[in-house]
Amino acid sequence: MFKNLQMLNKERQAETEVDSEQMPIAGSSAQMPQNPMLVAGLVGKSVSFDFDKTLSRLDVQEYAKELIAKGVDVWIVTSRYDELHKHRYPNNPTLNDLWEVADLVGIPRHKVRFTCMESKALYLLYTNIIWHLDDDIVELRDMQYQKCKTVGINVGSSNWKKKCNRLLFPKETIIKDFSNKAIWEYACRTILKDISQTFLSKSNQNKADKSSDKDVFQAVGETIKNFPIPEYRGLS
């Protein structure tokens, strides 16, 4: 925790310019590869893409790449047969095209799941996948019928990307100013808030051996909470 605070203070005083896109997220070893404002709220969130007529599309591939770069956990959930049964898929008895796209987009192969022509709704029913993007109307309707927590989104709709983003980006984390300075300031506020809440947490304070230690926790938490945001110095 102190390491993150020291880093922020050091960046404010450093003579060299700071690359805000490489600043680590509080509580995580992940790096902010592109947009730290969005990454701060996206790391750990999971979504899935159908492959045929969905992730096989170039525009969808680019979108998946953007999400991965921001820290979203991206999966492929396809109705295709797996390696043991792929010969049963008459249109394409191999999976070479799927693996090629998965590698290109940056989706690890262990995050590619095959339902072997079984219902995707049942497969996703007890997962933490936020949304599943697909072109199959039957599958999407089945997800509604099964009351699947995962929201099915039709890639055939003109605003499919907007629907996906609405579910990923809570309103309170979206700002109109997407300048690098605004992103930097938001990321700093998020880190300071996370660190201060750790010290201000009653459960953590109750772990202190002495009442004086609790006072220290409270004082440190308040100090960090009001710590000035390091000045943005631009990208190198």
26-66 pLDDT, tens per residue?
Answer: 333 333 344 444 455 566 789 999 999 999 999 999 999 99
Taken in order 34, 38, 44, 47, the sign of the CA dihedral is: negative
Give the tens place of pLDDT for each residue, 140-161.
999 999 888 999 999 999 999 9
SS3 4: helix
- For 39-173, which CATH class? alpha beta
Give the tens place of pLDDT for each residue, 68-94.
988 899 999 999 999 888 888 777 678
Cα separation, 110 vs 61, in Å, equals 18
Task: Provide the token pair at 162.
Answer: 């907007």
> How crowded is the C-beta side of 69, counted as CA atoms within 13 Å?
12
**Which residue would you say has higher pLDDT here, 149 or 214?**
149
Q: What is the pTM of this model?
A: 0.59
Task: Provide the token pair at 31.
Answer: 């790096």
- Quickly tell me which residue has 């045929």 as its tokens: 52
Cα separation, 221 vs 189, in Å, equals 14
Q: What is the DSSP letter of 171?
A: G
